[in-house]
Amino acid sequence: MRAMILAAGLGTRLRPLTNTIPKPLLPVGGTPLIVWNLLLLRRYGIRDVMINVHHLGSLIEQELGDGKTFDMRISYSPESTLLGTGGGLKQAEAFFQGEAFLVLNGDTLFELNLENLIRFHEQENPLATMVVREDPDAERWGAVELDSEQRIIRINGRGGIGSDSLRQRMFAGVHIVHPHLLRTVPSGRESSIIDAYVHEIQSGERVLSYPLAGYWSDVGTPARYAAAQQAVDEGLLRLADRK
């Protein structure tokens, strides 16, 4: 399976740090954020990775190169203007070769057995599998609502018909996607992949959830950046082997 890491954001909430360093290269435990995710992918046998870049993107390319340092193959999708999660995936569509692919956020740290996630997706064969987690602030992050069969019915209050029996979770920013999801995403324009999800759910497509119970952090603010550093110091988060 191939993967894409979304790394084109501006990192405005972490300024002034991100004025000269793109957020994916900010160090956590002495290792750039994006390298944590690259090594996690490699731990589970994923070696072909696409990274979209925009703000200070050349620095990301200089740091990671073609991936040989990590025994991986890294490609880049430069965005002259930000395309968002939908437009960014659409621009890289050819890279996925018509097969399901894994998507990660370049500013998120998490612990998850990707082998089990991929096995679940392949066995169930939905349009997409979204990794979700319990969080009391799910609505602030963007809530997803699940039925008893782990099927996602609504995202941010949009999609199918809600009911009192639906359970609320937050989307962790990790998902396995079939390129069919991109069919309504406009090319060369900014868009959110959530719009495509809502459209497909309303069309009757099956989108499933997969639970994440381990460590997760969106390293998007100074407070969460400091918390991630502390998590490494306390052994709550461990870097995958570089070798």
Three-state secondary structure call for residue 155: strand
Report CA Rg, the chain.
17
Spans of all domains in the chain: 2-233
Q: Which CATH class is domain 2-233?
A: alpha beta
Q: What pLDDT does residue 109 have?
A: 92
Residues listed for the chain = 243
Best CA proximity match to 74, nearest among 52, 107, 97: 52
Contact present, 32 and 38 (Cβ < 8 Å): no
Q: What is Dmax (Cα atoms) for the chain?
A: 51
* Two tokens, residue 35: 């390298």
pLDDT category, 240, cuts 50, 70, 90? low
Side chain identity, residue 179: P
67 close to 73: Cβ distance less than 8 angstroms: yes
49 within 8 A of 41, measured Cβ to Cβ: yes
The pTM (predicted TM-score) of the whole model is 0.91
Q: Which residue has the tokens 């719009």?
A: 195
Tens of pLDDT, residue by residue over 14-55, are 676 566 778 889 888 889 999 999 999 999 999 999 999 998
